[in-house]
Copies of this chain bind each other. A is one copy, B any other.
Amino acid sequence: MVKRPAIEEAALLRIRPSREERRQIAAVAEKIIAAVDKTGEARGMLVGSIARDTWIAGEHDIDIFLLFPADLPREELEIRGLALARRTAGLFTGSVTEKYAEHPYIQALIDGYEVDLVPCYDVASASAIQSAVDRTPFHTRYIRGKIDGFIDDVLLLKQFARAGGIYGSDQMTEGFSGYLCEILVLYYKGFSPLLSAAAAWRPGCVIDPEGHGKKKFDEPLVVIDPVDPKRNVAAAVSLSRMMGFVELARGYLAAPSPAFFDVEQEPGITREELSDLLNKRRTHLFSITFAAPPLIPEIVVPQLKRSVEAITEWIERNGFPVQNARYQLEGDRCMLLFELLIAELPAIRTHLGPPVWNRENAEKFFGKYAGGANGGLPYITTGKYAVEVPREYPYARDLFSPHLILNTSLGKHVRQSLAEGFDVAEGADCWQEEFAAFIGGFLKRASPLIRTRQKKNGGKK
């Protein structure tokens, strides 16, 4: 085996779980699984990064699946599965919460560990799954069968992706899942060869470890699931995240530094910094803040994205160019942020009419405006009628009125939340403690490699 660079060895010393952590986790998992198995109702199975030995020290949520017979009706599974999960958790803790992803499941705090107890079907092959959760045991089996000798590489990749801000397949991150990291390390046979390959990735890149190669995918990065040819493991990875990884790979290969493995909290911008920055940029910042819809992020975040797009479209349709727009879900609050190039337009705007040669419409248009009651008077420009009318919204601020914002194509639950009220702020007044990091990143946009270099030890060894 090739000797790793000192930087990577040093990182591994920090991210490899200790023997004590491993022992404790194994003990917790074992007693829960034993309790499940004892019921005879379902079979307990440890899955996820714990099961695969690929968790980063301290990042140790325990995922235990309860595998029920595949012939159990779906409603039965939901009722009996949840009941068993709750009962099992109750044996060890009083802290039990019901959660909901595709199915309901139980989250419990046992001996200081967050444990998910997830009912699923025990199916014969991954192609026979009835829902996404049924696939997880196959992933675990696949990775466990091949991961020997590559565990440190997976740890390095996960930490590298986390430090670069592209770890996580949630809608907010649009980055790499743990399973994707494992597949990539196995496919390229290590962390280093993966980075060398990724430095030359282009959109449309297809990685197919088991040579399934049938289905076409539209996503920029395609990694065909070894256990399910119809699934792209990298479906959540946005083009920008993919290219962020490409950039990080190049940057690390060219000039390795511990910063590439340092997970550093983005420092939030202060109110004064924000005020200074806006004065310097001379742009016009507007924020909409409101209570998050009481739903999981997987449902809320895509709606936030859609809402920002719709509102941006609305703002630009009124003649105000938008420099940047973004959304953030922070606990139970959401913020939509818009940076405009201008905040005020003239009192008039051009309203184009029909061509003069289109007699019926032309005469209608002329009749409507000839009196001047609706603003200017009709004139002819390149053969068409036009008229200057009063601009409906000469001040950008007015575009954020509740009835106008609610009239855009918002996501359903975001609309419901906004309809209950929202705050609009302008300029430095957009600043809020809980969104300070978001606002800072919004105004000081920088690629993952730049952010890595900005870390305290960025660029230097």
Interface residues of A (CB under 8 A from B): 199-203, 220, 239-240, 242-244, 246-247, 250, 280-283, 319, 321, 323, 341-342, 344-348, 350, 355-357, 359, 362-363, 366, 370, 376-385, 388, 394, 444-450, 453
Pick from B283, B380, B382: contact of A447, CB under 8 Å: B380
Q: Is the CB of B280 within 8 A of A383?
A: no
Closest to A383 in B: B239
**Contact between A283 and B446, CB atoms less than 8 A apart:** no
**A357 and B446 form a contact (CB under 8 A):** no
Residues of B contacting A366 with CB < 8 Å?
247, 447, 449
Q: Which residues of B contact A244 (CB under 8 A)?
A: 380
Known pairs A203-B357, A319-B341, A446-B378; A282 contacts B383 (CB<8 A): no
A250, A394, A445, A453: most-surrounded residue (chain B CB, <10 A): A445
What residue of chain B has the Cβ atom nearest to residue A240's Cβ? B380
The residue in A244, A357, A388 that gathers the most chain B C-beta atoms within 10 A of its C-beta is: A357
A448 to B370: give the CA distance in the assembly, Å: 12
Chain B residues near A348: list those with CB within 8 A.
281, 283, 323
Interchain nearest-CB distance for A371 vs B (Å) = 10
Q: Which of B345, B370, B382 contacts A240 (CB 8 A)?
A: B382
Chain B residue contacts of A381, Cβ below 8 A: 240
Cα separation A382 to B244 with both chains bound (whole Å): 10
**Contact, CB under 8 Å: B445 / A379:** yes
Q: How far is the CA of A445 from the CA of B348 in the complex (A)?
A: 13
Contact, CB under 8 Å: A447 / B379: yes
Report the Cα distance A243→B283, complex, angstroms: 43
Residues of B within 8 A of A242 (CB): 383
A449 to B365, CA, bound (A): 13
A198 to chain B, nearest CB (A): 11
Please give, as numbers and ranges, the residues of chain B lying within 8 Å of A239 by CB-CB distance: 382-383
Q: Could you tell me the distance between the alpha carbons of A346 and B279 in the complex, rounded to whole angstroms?
A: 9
| Choice from B220, B341, B344 contacting A345 with Cβ under 8 Å | B341
The answer, among B240, B323, B385, for a CB contact under 8 Å with A383, is B240
Q: Which residues of chain B have C-beta atoms less than 8 A from A247's C-beta? A: 356, 362, 366, 380
The residues of B that contact A385 with a CB separation of less than 8 Å are 447
Shortest CB-to-CB span from A374 to chain B, Å, is 13
Q: Is the CB of A394 within 8 A of B357?
A: no
- Which residues on B sit within 8 Å (CB–CB) of A445? 376-377, 379, 388
**CB-based nearest B residue for A199:** B359
B250:A220 contact, CB within 8 angstroms: no
When the two chains form their complex, are residues A446 and B200 in contact, meaning their CB atoms are under 8 A apart? no
Check B246 against A357 for contact (C-beta < 8 Å). yes
Question: Roughly how many angstroms separate A356 CA and B244 CA in the complex, as a whole number?
Answer: 8
11 pairs, CB–CB < 8 Å, chain A vs chain B: A239-B383, A243-B356, A247-B380, A250-B363, A342-B345, A366-B449, A376-B445, A377-B444, A377-B447, A378-B446, A379-B447
Q: Is the CB of B370 within 8 A of A243?
A: no
Check B347 against A281 for contact (C-beta < 8 Å).
yes
Q: CA–CA, A354 to B280, complex, Å?
A: 27
Q: Are B283 and A346 in contact (CB under 8 A)?
A: yes
Nearest CB on B from A98, distance (A): 38
How many whole Å from A393's CB to the nearest CB in chain B? 13
* Known contacts A243-B383, A370-B450, A370-B453; 6 further A-B pairs (Cβ under 8 A): A240-B383, A246-B356, A247-B362, A319-B341, A377-B444, A377-B450
CA distance A444 to B372 in the complex (A): 11
CB distance from A389 to the nearest CB of B (A): 12
A347 touches B280 (CB 8 A): yes
- With the chains together, A409 CA to B1 CA distance in Å? 66
